[in-house]
Amino acid sequence: MIRKVRSHINQNETLLFEQSSPGKRAYQLPALDVPPVDAASVLGSDARTEIEDFPEVSEVEVIRHFTRLSTWNYGIDLGLFPLGSCTMKYNPRINEVVAREPGLAWAHPYQPESLSQGCMEVLALLEEYLCEIFGMDAVTLQPAAGAHGEFTGIMLIRSYLESQGNPRKKVLCPDSAHGTNPATAIIAGYEVENIKSNEKGMVDVEALAKAVNEDVAALMLTNPNTVGVFEEQILTIASILHEKGAQIYMDGANMNALVGISRPGDFGVDVMHSNLHKTFSTPHGGGGPGSGPVGVRKHLEPFLPGPRLKKAGGGWTWDYDRPKSIGRVRAFYGNFGVLVRALAYIMAHGGPGLRNATLDALLTANYVRARLEPYYQIAYQAPSMHECVFSDDRQAAKGVRTGDIAKRLLDYGFHPYTVSFPMIVRGALMIEPTETEPKQELDLFCDALISIAGEIEENPQLVLKAPHGTRTSRVDEVTAARKPVVRWRRNETASKAAD
Q: For the domain that residue 183 is a member of, what is the CATH number?
A: 3.40.640.10
Could you tell me if 209 and 322 lie in one domain?
yes
Q: Same domain for 53 and 161?
A: no
- Statement to judge: residues 313 and 334 lie in one domain: yes
CATH code, 442: 3.90.1150.10
DSSP for 85-154? Answer: TT------HHHHHHHT-HHHHT--TTS-GGG-HHHHHHHHHHHHHHHHHHT-SEEE----SHHHHHHHHH
| H-helix or E-strand spanning residue 295 | strand 294-296
Residue 48 is predicted with a pLDDT of 63
Does residue 45 carry a pLDDT above 80?
Answer: no
Identify whether residues 254 and 114 lie together within a single domain.
yes
- Find out whether the peptide bond into 422 is cis, omega within 30 degrees of 0: yes
Contact predicate 431/368, CB 8 Å: yes
DSSP-based three-state secondary structure for 309: strand
Q: Indicate whether 321 and 369 sit together in one domain.
A: no
Check residue 194 and give its pLDDT.
95
109: alpha, beta or left, given left = phi > 0 and alpha = psi -120 to 50? Answer: alpha
Q: Identify whether the C-beta of residue 192 lies closer than 8 Å to the C-beta of residue 170.
A: yes
Q: Does residue 343 sit in the same domain as residue 363? A: no
pLDDT above 80: residue 287: no
Q: Among residues 374, 408, 343, 425, which one has the least CA distance to residue 121?
A: 343
pLDDT in tens, 137-183: 999 999 999 999 999 999 999 999 999 999 999 999 999 888 899 99
Domain that holds residue 117: 93-349
Residues 390 and 425 in one domain: yes
434 torsion bin: left (phi>0), alpha (psi -120 to 50), beta (else): left
Q: State the chain's mean pLDDT as an integer.
A: 90
Q: Evaluate whether residue 417 is within a structural domain.
A: yes
Angle at CA 496, nearest 5°, toward 493 and 499? 150
Q: Does 75 fall in a domain?
A: no
Q: What is the pLDDT of residue 1?
A: 34
- Domain boundary at 30, 55, 70, which? 70
In a domain, 11, yes or no: no
CA distance 117 to 316: 6
- More reliable by pLDDT, 116 or 488: 116
Please state, in angstroms and rounded to a whole number, the distance separating the CA atoms of residues 168 and 350. 41
Q: Domain boundary residue among 328, 349, 370?
A: 349
Are 391 and 255 in a shared domain? no
Q: Is 498 part of a structural domain of the chain?
A: no
Q: Which of 303, 319, 349 is the last residue of a domain?
A: 349
pLDDT above 90 as % of the chain: 73
In a domain, 85, yes or no: no
Do 255 and 374 lie in a common domain? no
Question: Quick check: 412 and 450 in contact, CB under 8 A?
Answer: no
What's the mean pLDDT in 342-368? 97
Helix (H, G, I), strand (E, B) or coil at 366: helix
Mark whether 35 and 125 lie in a shared domain.
no
Whether 363 is covered by a domain: the verdict is: yes
Residue 341 sits in the same domain as residue 404 = no
The count of structural domains within the chain is 3
Nearest 5°: the CA angle 491, 493, 496 is: 110
Q: Which residues of 297-308 are buried (b: 16+ CB within 10 A; e: fewer)?
A: beebbbbbbbbb
Q: Which of 68-72, 100-104, 378-382 has the lowest mean pLDDT?
A: 68-72
Do 146 and 185 lie in one domain? The reply is yes
* 377-378 and 216-222 beta bridge pairing: unpaired
| pLDDT at site 486 | 60
Residue 1 lies in a domain: no
Within a domain: 453 = yes
Q: So what's the pLDDT on residue 288?
A: 65
Q: Closest Cα partner for 345 from 124, 130, 104? A: 130
